[in-house]
Structure 1
Amino acid sequence: MTMHDPGPDSERSQRRPLSLGRFDESGANVIARRLRSWDWQWIIAIALCFAVLLFGLRQPLADWLWPQTRAERLRMQAERALAQGRLTAADGSGARELYAAALALDPDRANARAGLDRVGQAALAQARAAVARRQFARAHEALQLADELSVPRAQADALRERLRRAEAGSVGIDALLRMAASAHAAGKLEGSDGALPLYQRVLELEPDRIGALEGREDVLSDLLQRAHAQLAAGDAAGAAAVVRRVQAADAGHVELPDLLAALTRAAEDKRRQADRYLARKELDQALEAYEAALQVNPDDADALHGVHAVASAHAQRSDRFAADYRFSEAEAELVQARTIAGTSAAQVPAIAEAQQHLVRARQSQRQVAVPAPTASQRRRVAQLLADAAHAQARGDLITPPGDSAFDKLRAASAIAPQDPGVKAASARLAPVAMQCFNEALRGNRLVRAGACLDARRALEGETGAVRAGRRELAQRWIALGDQRLSAGEIAGAQAALQSARSLDTDAAGLAAFADRLRMAAGAADREDSY
Structure 2
Amino acid sequence: MRPRGRREPVVGDLRGLRLDARAGPPGERPPVRPATRPQRWIIALAVAAALAATAALLRDPLAERMWPEARVHALTDDAAAALAHGHLSAPDGSGARELYEAARAIDPDQLAPRAGLARVADAALAQASASVDAGRFADAHAHLRLARELSIPRERADAVAGRLRGREATLAGLDGLVLQAESARAAGRLHGDDSAALPLYARVLALDPGRADALRGRDDALAALLQQARTDLRQGDLQAAATGIAAARGYDPGHVDLPDTEARLTEELDALRRRAAVDLAGGRIDAAVATWRRLQQFDPDDAGARDGLQQAAAALARQAQRQGADFRFAEADAILARARALAPDAAAVASAQSALERARQRHAQLQASSARPDRADRVPGLLRQAAEAEARGDLLTPPGDSAYDRLRAAQAIAPRDANVQRAVARLLPSARACFERQLSANDLARARRCLDAREALGESASAMTGDRRRLAQRWLAIGDERLGAGQLDAASAALASARAIDPRAPGIEEFQRRLRVASRG
TM-score, structure 1 normalization: 0.75
Partner amino acid for 2:389? Answer: A
The SS at the match of 1:204 is helix
**2:478 maps to 1:476:** no
Residue 40 (structure 2) aligns with:
none
Residue 133 (structure 1) aligns with:
134
Residues 139 and 490 (structure 1 numbering): CA distance in 2 closer, same or farther, change over 3 Å? same
Residue 464 (structure 2) aligns with:
466
Q: CA shift at 1:403, angstroms?
A: 3.4
Residue 86 (structure 2) aligns with:
85
Task: State the distance in 1 between where 2:303 and 2:97 align.
Answer: 41
Task: State the distance in 2 between where 1:281 and 1:367 align.
Answer: 34
Task: State the distance in 2 between where 1:312 and 1:490 align.
Answer: 35
Higher mean alpha-carbon deviation, 412-421 vs 51-60, is at 51-60
Residue 249 (structure 2) aligns with:
247
How many pairs are equivalent? 474
Partner deviation per Cα, 1:166-197 (whole Å, 9 max, x = no partner): 22222121221222223233332222211111
Residue 437 (structure 2) aligns with:
439
Q: CA shift at 1:423, angstroms?
A: 3.0
The SS at the match of 2:104 is helix
Task: State the distance in 1 between where 2:108 and 2:302 align.
Answer: 40
Task: State the distance in 2 between where 1:365 and 1:375 align.
Answer: 15
Pick the structure with more helix per residue: 1
Residue 31 (structure 2) aligns with:
none
Larger radius of gyration: 1
**2:187 maps to 1:186:** yes
Residue 203 (structure 1) aligns with:
205
Residues 203 and 328 (structure 1 numbering): CA distance in 2 closer, same or farther, change over 3 Å? farther
Residue 214 (structure 1) aligns with:
216
Higher mean alpha-carbon deviation, 409-418 vs 311-320, is at 311-320
Residues 275 and 218 (structure 1 numbering): CA distance in 2 closer, same or farther, change over 3 Å? same
Residue 226 (structure 1) aligns with:
228
The SS at the match of 1:496 is helix
Residue 408 (structure 1) aligns with:
406
Q: CA shift at 1:202, angstroms?
A: 0.8
Higher mean alpha-carbon deviation, 229-238 vs 98-107, is at 229-238
Partner amino acid for 1:503? Answer: I
Residues 122 and 436 (structure 1 numbering): CA distance in 2 closer, same or farther, change over 3 Å? same
Partner amino acid for 2:393? Answer: G
**Which of 1 and 2 has higher RCO (CA within 8 Å, sep 6+)?**
2
Task: State the distance in 2 between where 1:251 and 1:398 align.
Answer: 61
Task: State the distance in 2 between where 1:491 and 1:271 align.
Answer: 42
The SS at the match of 1:453 is helix
Task: State the distance in 2 between where 1:67 and 1:151 align.
Answer: 31
Task: State the distance in 2 between where 1:272 and 1:396 align.
Answer: 52
Task: State the distance in 2 between where 1:302 and 1:109 align.
Answer: 39
Partner amino acid for 1:517? Answer: L
Task: State the distance in 2 between where 1:72 and 1:372 align.
Answer: 69
1:212-361 to structure 2, matched below 5 A, reads 212-256=214-258, 259=261, 325-330=327-332, 332-333=334-335
Identify unmatched segments of 5+ residues in structure 2: 1-42
Partner deviation per Cα, 1:190-214 (whole Å, 9 max, x = no partner): 2221111111111111111122122
Q: CA shift at 1:342, angstroms?
A: 9.6
Q: CA shift at 1:92, angstroms?
A: 1.6
Task: State the distance in 2 between where 1:331 and 1:304 align.
Answer: 23
Q: Is the 8 A contact 1:477 1:497 kept in 2?
A: yes
Residues 252 and 68 (structure 1 numbering): CA distance in 2 closer, same or farther, change over 3 Å? closer
Residues 295 and 408 (structure 1 numbering): CA distance in 2 closer, same or farther, change over 3 Å? closer
Residue 508 (structure 1) aligns with:
506
The SS at the match of 2:369 is coil
Q: Is the 8 A contact 1:263 1:296 kept in 2?
A: no
Partner deviation per Cα, 1:378-437 (whole Å, 9 max, x = no partner): 454444444433433332322333333323333343344344444343223222221111
Residue 8 (structure 1) aligns with:
none
Task: State the distance in 1 between where 2:397 and 2:373 align.
Answer: 29
Residue 41 (structure 1) aligns with:
none
The SS at the match of 2:205 is helix
The SS at the match of 2:486 is coil
Residues 75 and 327 (structure 1 numbering): CA distance in 2 closer, same or farther, change over 3 Å? same
Task: State the distance in 2 between where 1:160 and 1:409 align.
Answer: 74
**2:138 maps to 1:155:** no
Q: Is the 8 A contact 2:124 2:144 kept in 1?
A: yes
Partner amino acid for 1:197? Answer: P
Residues 55 and 201 (structure 1 numbering): CA distance in 2 closer, same or farther, change over 3 Å? closer
Q: Is the 8 A contact 2:362 2:412 kept in 1?
A: no
Residues 205 and 303 (structure 1 numbering): CA distance in 2 closer, same or farther, change over 3 Å? same
